[in-house]
Amino acid sequence: MLKKLLIIAAILFAVFAFANNFEPEIELVEQSKRTVTAPFKYAALLSRQPEEKIKIPVRNIKAGQIADTWGAPRGNDRTHQGQDIFAPRNTPVYSAVDGYVWRIAENNLGGNTVWIIGAGGRVYYYAHLERYAENLQVGESVTFDTILGYVGTSGNARGTPPHLHFGVYTTGGAINPLSLFE
């Protein structure tokens, strides 16, 4: 079992280092520690079962207030693989689970995004953030009390009402987060 975990940790380290443009000459000792230990933390998460129910990442929003847009067409070539949670701009966005910050990045679709890896290797995707929480860093441990960022309209959400696009990904692909909300 230990040998398998070490192999998984090594693979995750390689994937993590590549995905986060790991530089061998990192000057900050703390950042280096997070980069080196993160794959082992992630591997430990793989051995746990993912949560059956998760917190809604925008507080004071109930599951019944979220319109189910799972699978709705998005352009000609894709469907919506998440749920949009509408809230006033700059409303705090919390982690839905305990886990680790896997990635903080900007892209054309999601704009300002944060990826959290949780139990069972499940990945939680937070997109269209107005801005990130101050001092949020890759490799950081998070709980459902951790603010990741703030509701906004970054990426392809410009011109729409402020919202969080929230996605959940398993090794089998995206799943509808609405069924997970408690």
* pLDDT digit string, tens, across residues 92-137: 999 999 999 999 999 999 999 999 999 999 999 999 999 999 999 9
Integer Cα distance of 139 and 125 in angstroms: 15
**Residue 26: domain span:** 2-46
pLDDT of 27 higher than 50: no
Could you tell me the pTM of the whole model?
0.80
Query: Could you tell me if 90 and 121 lie in one domain?
Result: yes
- The pair of three-digit structure tokens given for residue 18, joined into one six-digit string: 């590549």
Query: Could you tell me if 35 and 102 lie in one domain?
Result: no
CB atoms within 10 A of CB 82: 23
pLDDT of 12 higher than 80: no
- On whether residue 53 sits in a domain, the answer given is no
What is the per-residue pLDDT for 169?
96
What is the per-residue pLDDT for 91?
98
Query: Could you tell me if 84 and 7 lie in one domain?
Result: no
Q: N- to C-terminal Cα distance for the chain?
A: 33
Residue 73, helix vs strand vs coil? strand
Residue 14, helix vs strand vs coil? helix
Integer Cα distance of 182 and 118 in angstroms: 17
Where is 13: in which H helix or E strand? helix 2-19
Check if the beta carbon of residue 127 is closer than 8 Å to that of residue 164. yes
pLDDT tens-digit profile of 34-44?
556 667 777 78
Query: Could you tell me if 16 and 103 lie in one domain?
Result: no
Query: Could you tell me if 29 and 67 lie in one domain?
Result: no
CA atoms lying within 13 Å on the CB side of residue 88:
2
pLDDT tens-digit profile of 128-171?
999 999 999 998 999 999 999 999 999 999 999 999 999 999 98
Query: Could you tell me if 37 and 90 lie in one domain?
Result: no
Q: Is 20 exposed, middle or buried (0-12, 13-18, 19+ CB in 10 A)?
A: middle
